Structure 1
Amino acid sequence: MRLTSFTDFGLRALMRMAGEPERDHSTAEMAAEFGISRDHLTKAVALLARGGVLVTRRGHGGGARLARPASEIGLGDVVALLEGGTAMVECDRADGGGCTLTPVCRLRGLLAGAEAAFIETLNTRSLADCALPPRKGADA
């Protein structure tokens, strides 16, 4: 299974926040640290906030932080949230793709089971298991 860059960006942000949970983190700061698109990271952070993983504060000195301890945030739940709506194969798209095998295909069910097992396996670990160490010189 390949995760989207959107999920990768969201996971990087969460790993940083898990390593420094006592402070708010700006998307500009994290995008610069990781060398990634601020716009895409902002969208991932917004989705994580809507999903209850993060709390955000606007304005000067604002940013995002974890909504609960990293040890209570399952990695599988985060990946499922960030990957939500992304079809693993064409026939899983909302429009059914254009697959001519759909009426007789047995692969779709197998892949759905594998995806569920992937999320379940990730949920045996929490965000705390992959928290990044605090940045040197970071304001705490």
Structure 2
Amino acid sequence: MKLSRYTDYALRVLIYLAGRDQGLASIRQIAQAYAISHNHLMKIVQDLGHAGFVETVRGRGGGLRLARPASAIVIGDVVRHTEDLGDLVDCSTCRIAVACGLPPVLAEASLAFLAVLDRYRLSDVVARPEVFRGLFQDLPDAAGLA
């Protein structure tokens, strides 16, 4: 299974926020840190906010942060939210669909994939936040990261 770029970026946002000591981050900082589109990240952050993964603070000095501790964010939940996890293949027009045993095999594989992701939390992925902070420290807009 291949995750979409949307999911990749959503996970990157969460990892960036989890790697911070405290304080707020801007979408601009995150976009710059990963060299990805600011506009695309705006949509993703808004979606993560509506889903309860990210909290946004408006106004001067505003920004975003995790809406709950990294230890409370399950990677499988993020992937379920950002991916369309329907059938891996569309068998609706296939001639052999009524006799084929492949769809249940693929469904089992998909469940196994998610079961592995469900065993991990954001805090597991960012087990050493100080390393992440160091990786982003040299960026021109990295003021306030630590």
Q: Aligning the two structures, in what range does the TM-score lie when normalised by the shorter sequence?
A: 0.7 to 0.9
TM-score (norm 2): 0.79
Residues 70, 108 of structure 1: alpha-carbon distance in 2 compared, 3 angstrom cutoff: same
Deviations 1:11-56 (A, max 9, x none): 1111010011522221111011101112222222122111111111
Deviation at 1:114, TM superposition (A): 1.3
Please show how residues 77-88 of structure 1 align to structure 2 within 5 Å.
77-83=77-83, 85=84, 87=86
- Residue aligned with 1:3, SS: coil
The total of aligned residue pairs comes to: 135
Residues 36, 109 of structure 1: alpha-carbon distance in 2 compared, 3 angstrom cutoff: same
Runs of 4+ residues over 4 Å off in structure 1: 98-101
The runs of 5 or more residues in structure 2 that have no matched partner are none
- Residue aligned with 1:56, SS: strand
Deviations 1:83-122 (A, max 9, x none): 1x25463418xxx5x5444444322222222112111111
**Equivalent-residue separation in structure 2 for 1:11 and 1:32 (angstroms):** 16
Could you tell me which residue of structure 1 aligns to residue 88 of structure 2?
89
**Equivalent-residue separation in structure 2 for 1:39 and 1:58 (angstroms):** 17
The runs of 5 or more residues in structure 1 that have no matched partner are none
The partner residue of 1:109 within 95, 99, 104 is: 104
- Asked if structure 2 preserves the Cα contact closer than 8 Å seen for 1:21 and 1:65, the reply is no
Residues 21, 73 of structure 1: alpha-carbon distance in 2 compared, 3 angstrom cutoff: farther
- Asked if structure 2 preserves the Cα contact closer than 8 Å seen for 1:91 and 1:102, the reply is no
Structure of higher CA gyration radius = 2
TM-score (norm 1): 0.82
Residues 107, 20 of structure 1: alpha-carbon distance in 2 compared, 3 angstrom cutoff: same
- Asked if structure 1 preserves the Cα contact closer than 8 Å seen for 2:74 and 2:121, the reply is yes
